Chains A and B, each alone.
Chain A
């Protein structure tokens, strides 16, 4: 296959022909091949940048716009760093300082930014489907950085990459997403990606936040953390998304922590090599106690580093594909 000159860098495979996506909107629509390509590219880029530290020039001359219509610190910075590590320029855009507050529509805002010769837009929005709406109205690549409770594909991939680094495979592992599934985009992206790679996925949390309907999609539904802990290879402890809930789905934070908080006592029931993950920001004392968050099983900080690797991969793959087509 033909490789454009800027694509060449030590240890980076060319974009395979099977990857045909100029947008990354969600993991649900990705094939197993697509997910493996993302994973492989992220692993290579992490190595080629000395652990996401050094700069490459494979996206030199490209511009990535960060368009965050909802607050974010870590994802925004992670995407910015990822773009700059690959040599791209970045444009920052936030809803509060934008024309949105002057009545401009989302599509017009995006078209205006695109006219500044932007190659990719990283979009976070509180409404599901907003990145999809933009992808139909602009020509640059759109990367979904979280659309309401729908999907957060790079978060799903960085969780998967973290497990892969520790275990070398996802096949046959039991991975539980614990907590607020209903309002969690992280949970959804994880579910699709993990299932494609052969993991057994459990969603566990209060019955008001974990729908029985997940069983239709081959996911195990549980309401008892104590019951599932001994069976799990990975526990991914989700934050309660208070900001998305219209009515409080459980009586108190105290009760939530009692039923679903991961603490030392529950760790005693876990497998010796269990991995503790959290997409963050973590609420110490709610879904996770400090000793567990900072303990030997925790890979929370690896997740953060891998976030840059996955986002480098996503930007590289989508922008290269858009250029090719």
Chain B
């Protein structure tokens, strides 16, 4: 494989606290050098005005295959990931059959390897068939390559099972991922519970539902000493609970979906089911608290929360429509436009949330440009203005309300293991 030299770009690698304009050399699929010149015949990329980041890592993606190929396949989902600038993704176990056996883990790995787009890391089920009753075979699944365990997007409802899962997971040093929600406080909910849901007559999902679960999860992580990763944080109370737990040294990381960082429940006045997501779009108060949480490190990770759904499933009554947005191809643009441009986060912090931290949370050998590491690189054009066109998505699903939205910044070049997968 010919080497690649990327010149004149601003290299930002939070894993080595690096932020400077210099060159990056890739050889044999690995990062060979930073800042040194070479004379060998290599491909040159001029990254003037661009940011060179460790390949982005998305810790929360639904790939939908097997079982729901009308929404997304492993091939289309990984291709969409590349289009969005992600070189690694972790996929949720809500397939059919669910990812609760060695065979299912290997199926996903094999399909991902055939697709040959980005790296795919498998999140397997905590409970058999995601039913929340019996533990899945964590030991065998870990051996097969599962990097984490979760019943997401369902919450881990039964507290005794959850506690046992945390205790058991310690043997394998794998994180348990929970979508914190007490179902009886959010059942049949369509949107955030507040003045807007009251006016619209739509069932609300109260912050209490998330915060009680967050509190429970943190307590269980503290007493078991296991690794907990809280998914889908969206409320002021959750941020505060996590902040305090981290202060006590609880082994917890947390993530937030990009949609929950700038859209408010006010938008549900459109009755557009594309805005129906879980956790729901909340009020500005919650968004402000979550942004503070990102700034002070309480929230470690930003995810796409990619939830592709075929249009016939979404073009229906609000209570029938499933949760979720097809987001992975616009997450980076949304993050730059709504978090960096307004001055909430700087680029090094954003890249840590989109690459270094998710890799750490899932203990992946990713999210770094250290010499010798696999050459997963995302070159970001931070200034390019572009318009969201769902018809150009490589995802099979176009369930996004953002058609025509103008965004700043996107991935310009994506390199996986030294191979250029995308170059605009």
Contacts and interface: CB of A to CB of B under 8 A. Distances in A.
A126 B318 CA distance: 10
A132 B271 contact: yes
A150 B202 contact: yes
A124 interface: no
Contacts, number: 56
Contacts of B271: 128-129, 132-133
Interface string A136-159: 000000000001111100000000
B403 interface: no
A237 B273 CA distance: 33
A216 B318 CA distance: 25
Nearest to A214: B198
B316 interface: yes
A117 B221 CA distance: 63
Contacts of B320: 127
A217 B195 CA distance: 9
Nearest to B202: A128
A105 B187 CA distance: 24
Interface string B288-326: 000000000000000000000000100111111000000
A125 interface: yes
B318 A105 contact: no
Nearest to B317: A127
Interface string A233-254: 0000000000000100000000
B314 to A, nearest CB: 11
A129 B315 contact: no
A106 B320 CA distance: 11
Given A106-B317, A127-B319, A246 B187 contact: yes
A107 B319 CA distance: 15
Nearest to A191: B199
Contact of A216 (B188, B195, B273, B319): B195
B405 interface: no
A101 to B, nearest CB: 14
Interface in B200-218: 200-202
A188 interface: yes
A132 B316 CA distance: 11
B194 interface: yes
Interface string A207-247: 00001011011000000000000000000000000000010
Contacts of A148: 201-202
Contacts of A217: 195, 199
Interface string B32-47: 0000000000000000
Contacts of B187: 246
A74 B319 CA distance: 26
B271 to A, nearest CB: 3
Contacts of A182: 198
Given A105-B315, A128-B271, A246 B188 contact: yes
B317 A125 contact: yes
A34 interface: no
Nearest to B268: A129
A128 B312 contact: no
B198 A129 contact: no
A28 interface: yes
A200 interface: no
Contact of B194 (A28, A133, A213, A246): A213
Contacts of B200: 128-129, 150
Nearest to A105: B316
B201 A107 contact: no
A68 B318 CA distance: 17
A128 B201 contact: yes
A103 to B, nearest CB: 11
Interface string B213-238: 00000000000000000000000000
B267 to A, nearest CB: 13
A289 interface: no
Contacts of B316: 105-107, 133
Given A128-B318, A246-B188, 5 more contacts: A125-B317, A128-B200, A129-B200, A129-B318, A213-B195
5 contacts: A126-B319, A128-B200, A213-B195, A213-B198, A216-B195
The 3 closest A-B pairs by CB, nearest first: A129-B271, A149-B201, A150-B201
